[in-house]
Each structure stands twice: as C-alpha cells, then as structure tokens.
Chains A and B, each alone.
Chain A
Amino acid sequence: MITEGAVLDALSGVRDPELDEPITDLKFVSDLRVGEGAVDVKLRLPTPFCAPNFAYLMAHDAREALLSVPGVREARVILEDHHTADEINAGMASGMGFGGTFNSFEETEGDSLDELRTIFRRKGFVSRQEKLCRALLADDYSPAELAGMRLGEVPRSETKEKYLGRREELGLGVSADAPFLVDPDGRKLPEDAVMQHLRFARVTRLSIEANAGFCRGVLAARYRDVPDVIEEEATL
C-alpha cells in the first residue's frame, strides 16, 4: 500500500536546482494522486517562461523519486502551464532523456545536464556553508577556529545537516574528522582567507534566497495563493 505521506516524503527530496529548496516547500507540487502501484503528480512553476532546463530537471527528479517509493511501479509526472509542457510531458512519459525531449531545439547541445546541475550544487554548497559559518561566528567562534575545525566538532543543527547533504552531493567527505571549511573542490581554506571567502559566499546566498523569494511571490500571484511568510529573510 502506497501512502501519500511516503510519496510526499520522496518528493521533498527533490529540489529546484537554482533555488536550492525542495519543490514541496516551494509549492510546485499542485496535485498528487495515489493509486494501485501508481502515482500521478502535477507540477506547476511561477511563470510559463521559467527556464526549461530547470523545469526538466525537476520533472525528471520527481519521477525518479516517485519510482524509489516501495510499491510504486508506475509514476506519471505532468508539468502544467509551461511553454515547454508538451515536450517535457512527452519526454517524461517515454523516458527520452533531456536530449531526446528537446531534440527539435537547435540550441540543445548533447544529452547531459550534469554540468548545469554541478554549477548549482556548488552554489548551494557555498550558500549553506556561509549560513552555517555565520551561525558559528554569532556563537563566538573565531574565523581561525572555523578554519581549524573538523566536521565532528561543529555542533549539530538543521543548518549543519543541510550543509552535510550539499557536501555529499559534491563528493566531498562528510566524516567527523574531515576538515569543515573547504571550497567546492574540497581544498581546505587558509585561516586568513576565511572572512573574505564568506564575504563573497554571502552574495551567493543572497542571490539564491532573494530569487527564491521572488519566485514564491510570482507563483502565489499566478495561482492566487496566499503568499508565504519568508523566514530566511531575517537570517542573512
């Protein structure tokens, strides 16, 4: 028996790559139907012109997530109200992959969105790391201490959990004795570079979070939902 809870749980692992937040939190999941061995999910986005590459990635990842739920043999993901909805929906139904889905479009180069995904995973990593570092600095850790810390020495928190998740996706170590403060390539940051690194990282986080706020507002206006209260706003 497939439960709605299990399905939602799986979908909450799917993120908008650009906004670095789960599609469930962003209210991109507009409908969910669970049947005998099958799940139907509808996705919606803030505008008809949201970038098709990211739209494809979310639809693709949602389908994969649904198929990972025990008991699900069939998963149908439909993207609504988007200028490439027909292409993406056909691509999802037949498992054609990105290149196949958009093979009629000249500017698509090759099948892989891996490079794009990596760019945004790196940004997400830097942003989560900055958030965690700010919290530690506010708790009176010094920049030098941050540079010397190992992961096991960083107190537990939700922010830390998210940071560890982003590290793992980039293939960086998450063991307790791994160095805490590394760049997206895993190189340890020297003590005197910590504050400068965070100065830039903050702009990355601001960019992602401001964009997410913008997208939430536009989505709410489009579907006449009540806008969310954005909690992150005060944390930067």
Chain B
Amino acid sequence: MYEKDGEKYFVIDGHVHYWSAGPNNRNKYGKMFIDCFYGYHSSLSPEEYLWDEEKFAEYSEETMMHDLFEIGYVDKAIFQPTYLLDFFPDGFNTTAQDAVLAEKYPDKFILNSSFEPRLGETGLANFEEKHKKYGFKGVKLYTAEWHEDSKGWKLNDYWSKRYLEKCQELGVKNIHVHKGPTIRPLNKDAFNVDDVDHVASEFTDLNFIVEHVGLPRLEDFCWIAVQEPNVYGGLAVAMPFIYSRPRYFAQIIGELLYWLDEDRILFSSDYAIWQPKWLVEMFVDFQIPEDLQGEYGTLTPDIKRKILGLNAARLYDIEVPSEVPQEEPVMAGSEAEYPERPL
C-alpha cells in the first residue's frame, strides 16, 4: 500500500520476474539476452537504482522480497514466466522457478504459467496437468520464442486456438502477450499485434493483456484495443519513461486513456529490469504537463488508483482493502467515435 497526500493506493505489480541468468545457466545467446535486459535497466533507471551486471544476472529471494514488498509498496505481484529454454538450460524464469516463491509467500504472489502450442496434443495434456498443480488464472505467451525449427508462432494458429479453448475451459482467463523482437530473422514485423485482434474477437470471454502496450507499435495496439473491449495494456517498459522521458510518458498515457480508457491499463515494473519503488513514487507524483492537458486532461488519484492496482485486482479477483476508494469502471469509448485507420 502506498500513501501520499492523504490518498491510498493499492499496488499490484502486473509483471515481475525471478530469473536465473548467471554464467552457469546460459549459452552465448543467453548472455546476449541478459545483456540486452541490462541495457534497458541501465539506460532507463535513476542512478541510485542501478545494479552491477553480476547482481542483475542472478539476484536473491531476499533482494526481490525487499525491493517489492519491504520498500516497493507492492501489495501483490504477478509472476510472468519466460522460459527461453534454448538460451538458458534450466529456463530463464519458469513457472516451477516462480512457484518456489509463490508457495512460500502465497499472499504476496500470483503465479501465472505459459503454454507452448507447438507441442500439440501432448503439450495440451501437460498444460492441463500443470494447471491442476498450480491452479493459475493467467498465462504469459511469448510468440517469438524458438522451438525446434520454428522461430515463432501466431496467436491465431490452429494449435494456439486449441490451447486458448483449453484456457476457457479451465478458467484461465487472463492471456498476457509479449510482443517483442524475434530472436531470428523474419522478413515480417515480429512486433505486429494483428494476431491479438483475431483471437480477442473470437475468444470474447478471455482478457488479452498486451505487455509493453504494444511498444514500439503503440498505434497498432491502440487500434486493436479500440475495437476489442477485452484487450488491455500492460505498462511494463513504458513505465520507466516517466523518469528519463516524462513528456513521452505523458503522451503514451494520454493516448492510452483516449483510445482505451482508464480501466484497461495495468501498472507493471518488469522487475528486476526496473524497481517498483521509484516507479510508484514518480507515478503518484506525476501529472500531464500543462500544455498537453488541453488534449489529454489530467491524471486524478482515482485514475492512478485504477492503473496501479484496481484494474489488475478486477482481472484476478483480488480483494481490495476497504480503506482504498474504488471508483466504478467507466468503460468509455466505442468504435464509432474513433477515426478510420490511416495505415
């Protein structure tokens, strides 16, 4: 819980990792991968929150518990697994790895899992087993991941849809989608979010949370979210702009509020790339610059409360303490009011 100026904020960090990327668990691609994350960390963090590379590759349970819950104001954190077994022999951040902490601190963590559609029928049975064991309500999908000869897949592929049907059946209703650089060359745009559009309109009782709000394809993401009320935006990667590029941050938030609404945006730190303490503090203090307020309006404590925790609480059926004011969802915006897509 975070309190400032008499306002209380219930904080759910929608995207955290407990990864293992030390020298004993990585090949040369794994090294490049963690270097890439370190670049994000070191270029967008305030100096006092910078780690050295060694700590960044492998941090302890104590460090994580401290950063999130002791000083970071986080009430609940959602584990989003990233397997990357081709880079990290034991996995980068698997459900099993996360489960160790989630079981130890059941009131702190929400454990999400993942599925691999390219495993076909066998994988489907395993997924069901895994669900029986962990009982998760969400999955994180990484469509650019390698698997044998394949270097990526789409959400609307045949097998992916079979898995999404299984999610419906099991009550796994939150589908987090990472859109990111393909690991290998594709003469297509690997950030493309069009496949989200297809499955969101087909699986209307599932929620699709696009991580990184589709960045760097924000416009494509906004376009999809306008049309599909079950599409959400996760703020991982966009959040740290609040420190180094506050005007861009203001505009990203302003556009999201315009195209989606305040009920479909989720706070996340992407820990350990960034730490929730400074993100929460800066976000609560943040305001849209005056010259942009004419177009974007202002961020009220109620809007901030929704983004910081209430929206995720709704998706994951998390009880919010009664002392935290809860505004009704506005569910603003409908397709007809928005312009035609120019691209």
Contact = CB atoms under 8 A, between A and B. Distances in A.
Interface of A: 18, 46-53, 56, 83-84, 98, 102, 105-110, 112-113, 115-116, 119, 122-123, 126, 183-184, 193, 196-197, 199-204, 206-211, 213-214, 217-218, 220-222, 227, 230, 233-234, 236
B105 to A, nearest CB: 32
Interface in B238-264: 241, 244-245, 247-248, 251-252, 255, 259
Given A98-B185, A193-B340, A204-B342, 9 more contacts: A48-B35, A51-B190, A84-B184, A108-B186, A123-B219, A123-B343, A206-B218, A214-B215, A233-B245
B39 A222 contact: yes
Given A203-B219, A204-B219, A236 B36 contact: no
B44 interface: yes
B248 A233 contact: yes
Given A217-B43, A221-B43, A234-B247, A98 B187 contact: yes
B96 to A, nearest CB: 25
Nearest to B148: A106
A221 B36 CA distance: 11
23 contacts: A46-B39, A53-B186, A83-B29, A105-B151, A107-B152, A107-B186, A108-B186, A115-B187, A119-B189, A123-B343, A126-B343, A183-B342, A204-B219, A206-B251, A209-B248, A210-B245, A217-B43, A218-B39, A221-B43, A227-B43, A233-B248, A236-B247, A236-B248
Contacts of A110: 187
Nearest to A46: B39
Interface in B183-221: 183-190, 215-219
Contacts of B182: 51-52, 107
B77 interface: no
B341 interface: yes
Interface string B1-41: 00000000000000000000000000001001101100110
Given A48-B36, A123-B343, A203-B259, A56 B185 contact: yes
B181 interface: yes
Contacts of B40: 218
A230 B241 CA distance: 13
A48 B223 CA distance: 30
Contact of A48 (B32, B186, B217): B32
Contacts of B184: 52, 84, 102, 105, 107
A113 B151 contact: no
Contact of A197 (B33, B244, B255, B339): B339
Given A203-B218, A206-B248, A51 B340 contact: no
